[in-house]
Amino acid sequence: MNEFLTRRKNWVALSLTLLMQLVLLGTQVTDRNNVRFIQIWANFLIIPAEQFTSATVDITSNLWHRYVALRHASEENLQLKEQIQSLSLEKNRLDAEVQASRRLQALLNLKEAAPWASVASEVIGSSPSEAFKSIIINTGVNAGLTNNLPVLTPEGVVGRIVRVSAHSSWVQLITDSESGVGVVFEKSRVHGVAKGSGGSILDVEYVVNEENIAVGDVIRTSGEDQIYPKDLLVGTVVSVQSGGGIFKKITALPAAQLSRLEEVLVMKKTPRRE
């Protein structure tokens, strides 16, 4: 380093001399506006630095404010999502209450219109077996229930009680393979027997081929089985075929939604007290 300065000391001295002369010249010489050149040079060097610094500060400040705003927006979005979820859950709860209220009102209307005394019950279980279609209700002997009482909903016939305990009863659905309901076709007044298929439909038997039965015909209870009162809605014909023997092959869809039962009405076959 010393050798470098020694060999170039003349150039260094000359450079320093020229710089000092320029500084002295800048302090003494002025422009037409009486502004010293040293001040102009200083402004020329300092102002861009100040502008750069100011722009950097502004950009940093803007970025920070945007970051803070985005954080606030993200928090607000999260709060809004939570509020929407809460409102959605509340809406679903209110919808369920409205549906339950409508079902109960329809059940009450059926209870008031029925000629027999009846007991409203809740469905508390169902049979897991495909062969035996049944449900369990929360009323039994203590409510005056016995075997072979008909069970209904406002939509139609559900089935009959086949076993009773103190506080619950087992109801055989009309779709059970061992079930049978005496029926009459609403339009033609032809009689038959609706039997469970073990699935979700009914087979209507003992209707001769000569009878005029069509898809869409409504079937109701005939009262001939001594279990179900006359003229209760059972279902609607969905298929009609001429059988190989003397009887038609007729299938019907139950009117009651047997897979969605929540409340039912059990008729006690005794006159309703006013």
Q: Domain residue spans in the chain? A: 31-113, 147-162+171-271
- What are the tens digits of pLDDT across the range 146-170? 999 999 998 999 999 999 999 999 9
pLDDT at 91: 72
For residue 183, pLDDT over 70 is answered with: yes
Q: pTM of this prediction?
A: 0.64
Alpha-helix runs per DSSP H in 149-269: none
Using an 8 Å Cβ cutoff, are 176 and 254 in contact?
Answer: no
Residue 145 reports pLDDT greater than 90: yes
Residues 172, 159: contact at Cβ < 8 Å?
yes
Q: How confident is the model at residue 13 (pLDDT cuts 50, 70, 90)?
A: low
Question: Can you read off the two tokens belonging to residue 192?
Answer: 């038959």
CA-CA distance, 5 to 46, in Å (whole number)?
A: 30
Rounded to whole angstroms, how far apart are CA atoms 40 and 18? 18
Work out the mean pLDDT of the chain and round it to a whole number.
79
Is CATH 2.40.160.10 the right assignment for the domain spanning 147-162+171-271?
Answer: no
